[in-house]
Amino acid sequence: MAKRPAKVWRICVVGVGMAVYQAAYFAAIAESGIALATVVTMGATPVLTALGGRFLLNERLSRVGLIALAAALAGLTLLTGGGPAEGAAAGVAWSLLSALGYAAVTLYSRRHNGDPETTAVGGFVVGAVCLAPFALAGGILPEFTPASAATLLFLGAVPTALAYALFFRSLTALPAATVSVISLGEAVGAAMIGVVLFGERLTLLAWSGCVLLLAAVVVLTVHGQR
């Protein structure tokens, strides 16, 4: 019974961290646009995670890991084409806050790697409770229809709860920095979805970024298995 309060406390910490980095990320998008917000947030997260893992968890990123991190950051920059935008200073500040929150959740979950599925679901429940007052005050709750309910159910179950359960599961086996770099592969996934489903076109630099990111993910995955 003594473990239950500690487990609840860990889920609450994770949930608050989720609320912080999600809200900060969308605030960054509102200030400076998707490209810059994505580059700064996703680029700063593995760096902050690697630094935190080194000093807080005594996890060292190997030479292969450092090379993969540099390649992933370069690929991310090429893919998103992040550049100056209006509101850049405020957007960068929000992006760094989001990255700090994400890195903190990653490091905390790595240190207290208990039940990944419970952590993911419980964390999002806590995060939703934290953000609900702001949603109510801003009047941004979606109109309830069968289609919107089905969409929200899918988004909550598959790309959110399931994805984060797998993310927390990976933290039970791999160093925090490695997981953080591998998760940058989601930028490639998003780009491919845009190309296949929405007919978007990528420039040669963007395709080069995809190759660099995928190479970094593959190298870290193989290196982690070894």
Contact 68, 219 (CB under 8 A): yes
Contact 190, 60 (CB under 8 A): no
pLDDT of residue 87: 54
Q: What is the residue extent of each domain of the chain? A: 3-225
For 82-127, how does the pLDDT look when each residue is reduced to its tens digit (9 = 90+)? Answer: 555 555 778 889 989 999 999 999 999 888 766 777 888 888 889 9
pTM value surpassing 0.75: yes
Alpha helices by DSSP H, 33-115: 34-56, 63-80, 88-111
pLDDT of residue 1: 47
Q: What's the distance, Cα to Cα, between the start and end of the chain in Å? A: 38
3-state class percentages of the chain: helix first, strand second, coil last, to nearest 5: 80, 0, 20
Intervals of the chain under pLDDT 70? 1-3, 81-87, 113-114, 223-226
- Cα(31)–Cα(160) distance, integer angstroms: 24
pLDDT of residue 3: 63
pLDDT of residue 114: 67
